[in-house]
Amino acid sequence: MKIKSARVVVTCPGRNFVTLKIETDTGLTGLGDATLNGRELAVASYLSDHVIPALIGRDAQAIEDIWQYLYRGAYWRRGPVTMTAIAAVDVALWDLKAKQAGLPLYQILGGACRTGVMVYGHANGANIAETIEEARRYQAMGYKAIRLQSGVPGLASTYGVSTDKLFYEPASAILPVENLWSTVKYLPTVPRLFEAAREALGWDVHLLHDVHHRLTPIEAGRLGKELEPYRPFWLEDPTPAENQASFRLIRQHTTTPLAVGEVFNSIWDAKQLIEEQLIDYIRATVVHAGGVTHLRRIATLADLYGVRTGCHGATDLSPVSMGAALHFDLSTPNFGIQEYMRHTAETDAVFPHAYRFEAGDLHPGDAPGHGVSIDEDLAAKFPYRPASLPVNRLEDGSMWNW
Ligand code: KDG
Ligand code: MG
């Protein structure tokens, strides 16, 4: 089965998605997601200008060799653009391999190790009461795990709180919107939110929170400690993870489980965090961390140290990534949880898929491959619209992490 052609499809059914479609001489096609929020065209160009010409004529079955060719063969290794492009090729090739075998991808990856993939949804509101009300909606939908994000008194906006509720999309204007951040205002709200949530929702539901990189290590240690009485499932991205050793400080102060890695693109970003058991969940994804091939390597390393997976699954990861992630989750022994932010009806129409939600779990379905396709005629009706993620400034005007 040789690669005959490949092309990049950019579409914006409500938000931008970049998809790689590989066609083979057998007539089978494979799909990979190449979406990097706010940097979509950089990956599209990397694929069209540098990767696709090198794929034509190659054996589509040689997934590992093609991965090594694209990784080792790029002198300028790693980075989100390169690794997202590699991921798109890798996922498309796994899709092809499974389709050729006539099997759902999870069977090719070793078979199911569980009956379903536990997911968490996003409850958010302008204040604590509204967030709790939203969380009740998620409980009623059958979710076993819910992320809680609430507005912060005195801040006009904060990460994770949207007016659209189910469909949070932070990328908006052509140039980044500037938000204001205050750690002093934020810090007391999260323990209050969790206290109110436990009172209202009980203890039979997992509760999560995303700090979105906004604290210093010692502030993160303090927040983790204050949340301990409410037994959070995890505290996500408490501080930026460029300095992996800084997580030692957080660990010294709290037993609240830590989840890190949605912005990671390689095993090297997570090596120390995993080997020193500084985190509990690794959030790297199929799309930004080099595809199924590389994510399996990260998960295998994590398994040695008791770290479980908790893949990123925001709406800027297309249904193609969600489909591939679910096959990975179902077949990975140290799977922990999968993020699931629902896509809009428009997006679901462009990407028909076999996965389904049932009683708090997602199931990838049994269609051959990863089970997600693209309606290219419909995709063409939604042309690319430039959009950027926001930036943050502190109240004194200095730049901060968004
Ligand atoms: O594009 C950025 C989003 O993917 C990110 O802000 C979402 O932090 C996020 C999450 O946990 O889903
Ligand atoms: Mg996050």
Instruction: Say yes or no: 298 and 212 in one domain.
Output: yes
Scored b (16 or more CB within 10 A) or e, 269-305 reads bbebbbeeebbbbbbbbbbbbbbbbbbbebbebbbeb
Contact 146, 134 (CB under 8 A): no
Res. 164 pLDDT band, cuts 50 70 90? confident
Query: Per-residue pLDDT for 165 more than 80?
Result: no
Count of structural domains within the chain: 2
Find tokens 């899709």 and name the residue: 95
CA distance 34 to 11: 12
* 184: CB partners within 8 A, 6+ apart: none
Instruction: Say yes or no: 191 and 334 in one domain.
Output: yes
Res. 239 pLDDT band, cuts 50 70 90? very high
Q: Determine the structural domain holding residue 77 and report its residue range.
A: 3-104
Residue tagged active-site, from 122, 206, 212, 213: 212
Q: Is 163 helix (H, G, I), strand (E, B) or coil?
A: coil
- Residue-level pLDDT at 229: 98
What is the pLDDT averaged over residues 256-273?
A: 98
Q: In 182-290, where does DSSP find H-type helix? A: 183-186, 189-201, 217-227, 247-253, 267-275
Query: Per-residue pLDDT for 163 more than 90?
Result: no
* 78: CB partners within 8 A, 6+ apart: 265, 266, 268
Instruction: Say yes or no: 229 and 360 in one domain.
Output: yes
Query: Per-residue pLDDT for 107 more than 80?
Result: yes
Residue minimizing CA distance to atom 2 of ligand 1: 37
- Residue-level pLDDT at 166: 76
Find tokens 């950027």 and name the residue: 388
Ligand 1 atom closest to the Cα of residue 313 is: 12
pLDDT digit string, tens, across residues 286-341: 999 999 999 999 999 999 999 999 999 999 999 999 999 999 999 999 999 999 99
Single out the residue in 82, 104, 126 at which a domain terminates: 104
Tokens matching residue 290: 């080099």
- Residue-level pLDDT at 169: 83
Ligand 1: centre distance to CA 283 (Å): 11
Q: Would 35 be classed as within a structural domain?
A: yes
Q: Which residues pair with 206 in a beta bridge?
A: 145
243 CB-side CA count, 13 A: 10
Which one, of 6, 92, 35, lies nearest residue 384 by Cα? 35
Instruction: Say yes or no: 59 and 156 in one domain.
Output: no
Ligand 2: centre distance to CA 64 (Å): 29
Instruction: Say yes or no: 239 and 204 in one domain.
Output: yes
CA distance 310 to 119: 9
Cα torsion 201, 203, 204, 210: sign: positive
Q: Which residues pair with 178 in a beta bridge?
A: 391
Distances (CA, A) of 127 to 50, 104, 130, 151: 47, 43, 5, 5
- Residue-level pLDDT at 147: 98
Annotation says 212 is catalytic: yes
- Residue-level pLDDT at 167: 76
pLDDT digit string, tens, across residues 45-71: 999 999 999 999 999 999 999 999 999
Which one, of 260, 262, 179, 255, lies nearest residue 223 by Cα? 255
Tokens matching residue 229: 């009485």
CA distance 352 to 303: 33
CATH of the domain at 192: 3.20.20.120
Instruction: Say yes or no: 73 and 143 in one domain.
Output: no
Q: Give the rounded distance of the alpha carbon of 237 from its chain centre.
A: 13
- Residue-level pLDDT at 168: 79
In the chain, the amino acid numbered 224 is G
Q: β-strand 29-33 against 17-24: which pairing, if any?
A: antiparallel
- Residue-level pLDDT at 162: 85
Ligand 2: centre distance to CA 304 (Å): 24
Which one, of 393, 328, 289, 326, lies nearest residue 36 by Cα? 289
Res. 172 pLDDT band, cuts 50 70 90? confident
Q: Would 402 be classed as within a structural domain?
A: no
Instruction: Say yes or no: 265 and 173 in one domain.
Output: yes
CATH of the domain at 19: 3.30.390.10
Ligand 1 atom closest to the Cα of residue 147 is: 11
Q: State if residue 40 touches ligand 1 by the CB under 6 angstroms criterion.
A: no
pLDDT digit string, tens, across residues 373-392: 999 999 999 999 999 999 99
- Residue-level pLDDT at 272: 98
Residue minimizing CA distance to atom 9 of ligand 1: 314
CA distance 239 to 32: 31
- Residue-level pLDDT at 75: 94
What is the pLDDT averaged over residues 241-254?
A: 97
